[in-house]
Amino acid sequence: MNLSSVLHQKIFRIISISSQRIEQKSYVVGGYVRDILIGEIESKDLDILTIGEGVRLAEEVSKYLIPSPIIRIFKRFGTAMLEYDNQKIEFVGSRKESYSFSSRKPIIQFGSLQDDQNRRDFTINTLAISLNRNNYGKLIDPFGGVSDLKKKILRTPLDANLTYSDDPLRMMRAIRFATQLQFKIEKHSFQSIQKNKNRINIVSTERIVEEFHKILLSKKPSIGLLLLYKSGLLSIILPELVSLKGIEEKNGYKHKDNFYHTLQVVDNISKEKNNSIWLRWVALLHDIGKTYTKKFFSKIGWSFHSHEFVGSKMVPNIFKRLKLPKGSSMKYVQKMIQHSYRPIALIGNNTSDSAIRRLLFEIGNDLEDLMKLCIADITTNNIEKKNQYQKNIYILMERIRKLEEKDRIQNWKSPISGNDIMKAFQIDPCKEIGIIKNFVKDSILEGKISNNFHSAYFIMLKKGKELGLKKK
């Protein structure tokens, strides 16, 4: 296949001319070629393989670019990178690799184009386009990568056991590509992942989580999550999720499979626009407490009472083990899981305004995300029930909107400060100030007084008098 029509960009001609000048053959390789052939993905990162020194080629190319770009050199890897026309271009010399059993870091030697293609993870990533004068634009496909692209198959170019054992991160990459591209992993290749799953333990946690996040941020994360489960990798990475698997039946009562339910919730939340990786983590972990709270009650059935609270308490250990950020992101996930069922409990005409005010007060700006989670959590196959559940949530959301418009509780700040209290009663900092502030807050949330300074000041004086304080 001749792809010269695809390579009309000026940069390719410059690389070709530069390669001729320094007498190094060069090729476009990797994801850029794959994405061109798929035709559905815009790839901005450009990988150039040269039979020689990558840094030398980058320096030669930069001479022809205006303005002359800054070249970043990575001596350890023998690579160089520059940016041109909003595109990152990486230059690397061809190489062959060998591995020791205890490390995924390869021993690198100079190699040919064939050596470099042999070392790549999947056939669809072995494709190369020549930038050389004698065959400019020619596609070089030694492993049938084009055929695998058409068949939507992920297959290793060499023996799969060797590929995954040498660099176990490739197991995560296989599942990530299968998720993002919605390809199938070839049967023998997947069996090799199952066989080599424990090799993942030599990979750094950070690299594992990086691939896991790409799976979680895909259009349909359940594809990857299910493959991780079937491969055995999920039991190593996130056993708390795997423990949700299964249905138990007793006296004619059975509960849903909370593992598959979770996968549906994650898919549902992924359809929402502008949601962060952490909201997807909330969806992923929202039911993890059910494993430890499951109880059976005669004539009632299965219960998972307080699973939200238990689940939220499990979050710090998971974040610590996976080396996820411990600050606001972790607190957000904890808070969302802890309150994940709360809006459902507020559905109905008997719910007081004060209960809704407290939700607004405690959730603040995260209320919209919480409601997204509640809607995503509806996974019943019964259309009538699904429509009714969604309708109930939308009715609650409208009620919340009207109450917030009237009372301004979201991101609430007390109209009475500690200084106001000290000034009114001429007192120094003491426990009574905290008591009064809480009383004012509760009075507003319960709807006993309006959310303004005048009403709050009046009730502050009343509570102060009860505590034996005198206005000065």
Q: What is the pLDDT of residues 337-357, one digit of tens each?
A: 999 988 988 888 788 888 888
Whether 214 and 249 have beta carbons less than 8 Å apart is answered as: no
Q: Report the DSSP pairing between strands 87-93 and 46-50.
A: parallel
Q: Is the model's pLDDT at 107 over the cut of 60?
A: no
Query: Topology of domain 152-237, per CATH?
Result: Hydrophobic Seed Protein (1.10.110)
Q: pTM for the full model?
A: 0.85
Q: pLDDT-based confidence at 408, cuts 50/70/90?
A: confident
- Is the pLDDT at 419 greater than 70? The verdict is yes
Asked whether 215 and 179 are in contact (CB, 8 A), the reply is yes
pLDDT more than 90, % of the chain: 59
Q: What is the pLDDT confidence band of residue 215, given thresholds at 50, 70 and 90?
A: very high
**pLDDT higher for 140 or 67?**
140
For strands 46-50 and 301-303, give the pairing: unpaired
How far from the centroid of its chain's Cα atoms is residue 205's Cα?
15
Q: Is the pLDDT score of 200 beyond 50?
A: yes
Look at residue 203 and tell me whether its pLDDT is greater than 60.
yes
pLDDT at 5: 60
User: Is 134 exposed, middle or buried, given 0-12, 13-18 or 19+ CB atoms closer than 10 A?
Assistant: exposed
Rounded Cα distance, 183 and 180, in Å: 8
pLDDT of residue 290: 93
| pLDDT band for position 2 (cuts 50, 70, 90) | very low
User: How many other C-beta atoms lie within 10 A of the C-beta of residue 179?
Assistant: 25
3-state secondary structure the chain: CECCCCCCCHHHHHHHHHHHHHCCCEEEECHHHHHHHHCCCCCCCEEEEECCCHHHHHHHHHCCCCCCCCCEEECCCCEEEEEECCEEEEEEECEEEECCCCCCCCEEEECCHHHHHHCCCCHHHCCEEECCHHHCCEEECCCCHHHHHHHCEECCCCCHHHHHHHCCHHHHHHHHHHHHHCCEECHHHHHHHHHCHHHHHHCCHHHHHHHHHHHHCCCCCHHHHHHHHHHCHHHHHCHHHHCCCCCCEECCEECCCHHHHHHHHHHHHHCCCCCCHHHHHHHHHCCCCHHHHCEEECCCEEECCCHHHHHHHHHHHHHHHCCCCCCHHHHHHHHHHHCCCHHHHCCCCCCCHHHHHHHHHHHHHHHHHHHHHHHHCCCCCCHHHHHHHHHHHHHHHHHHHHHHHHHCCCCCCCCCCHHHHHHHHCCCCCHHHHHHHHHHHHHHHCCCCCCCHHHHHHHHHHHHHHCCCCCC
For the chain, the straight-line distance linking the first and the last C-alpha, in angstroms and rounded, comes to 91
Which fold would CATH assign to domain 10-151? Beta Polymerase; domain 2 (3.30.460)
- Given a cut of 70, is residue 14 above it in pLDDT? yes
Distance between CA atoms of residues 419 and 457, nearest Å: 12
290 touches 312 (CB < 8 A): no
Identify the pLDDT of residue 42.
62
pLDDT in tens, 27-68: 999 889 998 888 765 666 899 999 999 999 999 999 999 888
- pLDDT for 447 beyond 90: no
Q: Where are the domains of the chain?
A: 10-151, 152-237, 418-466
In sequence order, what are the beta bridge partners of 50? Answer: 26, 93
